[in-house]
Structure 1
């Protein structure tokens, strides 16, 4: 049956309501044996459909992919007390994981769970009665949101479980699921087939979605950002530059004064789209780095990352990191990842920033460089640096390799712990190189690629072969 892990984790789909600006659970609807959902409750009005869409957002756990993106790469060092039963993601960090480990299966399960809920709403949304043209437009916008979420989640699955890091038309992707039936046993499409389905959803979403500015919903700027990111991975340089530019024109970079407030949720400067997290959320993003109950720091920032910054001039350093002598006294690493540290009474709890304008500048810079527009690419990189570094003077770059390395280094410094580093190295077939302790994982190595979760391989023979070596 399709995605055995999904079946075991879905007993229905969640409907949530908004209360004082936050998500809270309302009720669960059972899946009927025929795989059909009774729409008598959900599809009676746009209001109830909107609550179902909010349920999709509430169930969306981007932190699972973030954990892989950082822990697999060279952004962090494992905590000195991150071991045994008191540890977290230890084998993932040590590149010795198994295909049945929860860190490997969690992104798969959650993504297909969200996709299933999206598909259930999409299958019934057209029957929702609307009284006028304005209501019809609202309905179409909701459909566009759902299509965009479906595209995003499939792209995350592709980044995690695709059989090749670099885009190759014949490489094996993951099933692109557009039906809520969970009895299917799909095979793995090629990258080119997968990307065609993904692009179809993005194109449809762009045609339906409106230009509202609610950062906690997939609006037009967010879908444009998704299109830019997808195009970067596929090597569609012109598309990547164009759509990143659409976002840049609409959402300015944060000033140096605004930037620290992004990470404490005091403002939404340059935030294109974020997932709102509350005390009811099952996973807080800061839980990846520290156990708030025991005080164990699972991971600290890597010295390689810390040394990449000018600590005195770069606003990012104090926004992303802290130093806690109490941890050192407790026999732990004193450097702290504070990007999602939360606040008193809500430790580790912050909203998840899915798309920011800084990423769009870096996407456009890389795409322009790959399109032989070195001057324009350098200009984008210099603009970003001027917003982050005090008294920064624009630099000239002598050749394409030097500028490409500068762009990749800036991605390393701008986007740590936001679910990018491992995937950046992977899409460029670059080794993962850590410094303390020294360790290198080459693209030819078994653990460079994640496997399809073992439970899925057992349940669905059509999803074979697993990724190389697994």
Structure 2
């Protein structure tokens, strides 16, 4: 853990690294000789620091590309074409090692962003609505990073809550060699942070900043991953009933995904990680790994494509077919605004349709009527010819999980769903023949703790199998 702190403390001392995420972000002269407490001496300083925390989330190996890619490719939704640029081959073949650059980059970028959030949270500034707002958003950012870290580097809460999670770092200390906290403790920290975010955030400006109900939506998802269905449903219904957000429909699905602009109209997107024409990952953005005008390496797996009916807008507007590398291919059209666009695609973190599906699953097993209602709210808004699911029992749960796969495809959710439900991964023949299955019991279901974190820290323990 020393590596994390040593790298990130430089950020804390040079707040010039807090740069903008969007065109309207502040750009102030960097402080180069002040302690963090001294540098964050005003509301304006705190806002600049918050913008830097949001910027940290856009790192290519965090939400800028690697994390959402892993969520689909390490599962069964997306595979690497035989014609490729050499990116993410290890996810395709289940050949991740302790020296993997993308996994190491994910870990480091997440903890760097956590430390940026910590600096805001620990600021001595108090006494205004703006300060409370900025700290509330920082709590939500920190919770988001911990939620994704614990999903990939630790066993699911639903399986082993007392097993090793990830280190909880709440302050900056260059001498700290943190051990891994338990999965249960990490979830408790995430939920505590989201409680504070929900209590402190009062403003809504656009989808690229955490709002009160974006934090609440993430909390619903955390409770779902914890297997706490009662609290997941309560939080989800709070968002559905009180947030003022509306869901996309068949008629505006294509225009919604065709726009890379941050939303101010409370349509669908509760929170997304920002990119724009000036502040983006260039050719290394998420959109370009799918877009055939970019790298175009990742293609849709046949079994996922075949789940959609012929009249489903997600199929008719979300894919095209052709050939790549001499083989038949299904190209993903969910991301249309790639390198060179005036506003490249942002990375969706929480959408209202996801919240409806959380409410559906969380209604089970005791309230199948509500489960079908929330499930069909999404499903019938994607396919005008579909009259809705009528299933019960185990089939109803299966239908909800299938609808989650269809709705959230290429947004990074599939792998987390399969892990929390302890489902074996069985891939289509599109994938490498050496990696067509990954049982839940396989140690490769968890990412390795990066070797660079283990070397300087005797308190850090590796996951089994690495």
Q: 1:440 Cα deviation (Å)?
A: 1.1
Which residue of structure 2 aligns with residue 173 of structure 1?
A: 165
**1:66, 1:309 → 2: CA distance?**
21
What does 1:70-469 align with in structure 2 at a 5 Å threshold? 70-82=72-84, 86-124=85-123, 126-127=124-125, 136-164=128-156, 166-249=158-241, 250=243, 251-265=245-259, 268=263, 269-279=267-277, 280-282=279-281, 283-289=284-290, 292=293, 296-311=295-310, 313-323=311-321, 325=322, 328=324, 331=326, 333-342=328-337, 345-346=340-341, 349-370=344-365, 372-397=366-391, 399-437=392-430, 439-464=436-461, 466-469=462-465
CA RMSD of superposed structures (Å) = 2.4
Partner of 1:387, secondary structure, is coil
User: Structure 1 residues 194 and 343 mapped into 2: Cα distance closer, same or farther (>3 Å)?
Assistant: closer
Residues 257 and 291 (structure 1 numbering): CA distance in 2 closer, same or farther, change over 3 Å?
Answer: closer
Does the 8 Å contact 2:209/2:271 carry over to 1?
Answer: yes
Query: CA offset at residue 9 of structure 1?
Result: 6.3
* Residues 232-266 of structure 1: per-residue CA shift (max 9 Å, x gap): 01111011001111111232211222211221226
More divergent stretch after superposition (208-217 vs 442-451): 208-217
Deviation string 1:377-418 (CA, Å, 9 cap, x unpaired) is: 011111111111113213311x31100100010011000111
Deviation track 1:275-322 (CA, whole Å, cap 9, x = no partner) reads 220243234121333585xx54311110111101013x1111134322
User: Using the alignment, how far apart are the partners of 1:19 and 1:93 within structure 2?
Assistant: 33
What is the count of residue pairs matched by the alignment? 444
Q: Distance in 1 between matches of 2:71 and 2:30?
A: 32
SS where residue 353 of structure 1 aligns?
A: strand
Check 1:296–1:146 CA distance in 2 against 1; reply closer, same or farther (3 A cut).
Answer: closer
Q: 1:26 offset after TM fit, Å?
A: 5.9
- Higher mean alpha-carbon deviation, 414-423 vs 252-261, is at 252-261
1:16–1:27: 8 Å Cα contact kept in structure 2?
Answer: no
Distance in 1, matches of 2:314 and 2:134, equals 36
Q: After alignment, is 296-305 or 344-353 more displaced? A: 344-353
- Secondary structure class of the residue paired with 2:19: strand
2:18 to 9, 15, 20: 15
Gaps of 5+ in 2: none
Look up the match of 1:133.
none
Tell me which moved more, 203-212 or 405-414. Answer: 203-212
CA distance in 1: counterparts of 2:189 and 2:411, whole angstroms: 26
Classify 1:193/1:38 alpha carbon distance in 2 versus 1 (closer, same or farther; 3 Å).
closer
Relative distance call for 1:451 and 1:147 in structure 2 (3 A) is: same
Offset from partner CA, 1:182-202 (integer Å, 9 cap, x none)? 331111111222222222212
CA shift in 2, pair 1:48/1:319, >3 Å:
farther
Q: Deviations over 1:90-142 (max 9, x none)?
A: 01210011121112112111110000111112222x336x6xxxxx1111111
Return the offset for 1:211: 4.7
Q: What's 1:4 paired with?
A: 3
Contact 2:80–2:88 (Cα < 8 Å) also in 1 = no
Aligned CA distance change for structure 1 residues 98 and 19 (closer, same or farther; 3 Å): closer
Residue 424 of structure 1 deviates from its aligned partner by: 0.6
CA contact (8 A) 1:81 1:296 kept: no
Secondary structure of 2:335's aligned partner: coil
| 8 A Cα contact 2:287 2:338, kept in partner | no
> Structure 1: how far apart are the matches of 2:347 and 2:193?
23
2:364 is paired with a residue whose SS is: helix
TM-score, normalising length from structure 2? 0.88
> CA 1:289–1:91 in structure 2 vs 1: closer, same or farther (change >3 Å)?
same
- Relative to 1, partners in 2 of residues 1:19 and 1:156: Cα closer, same or farther, differing over 3 Å? closer
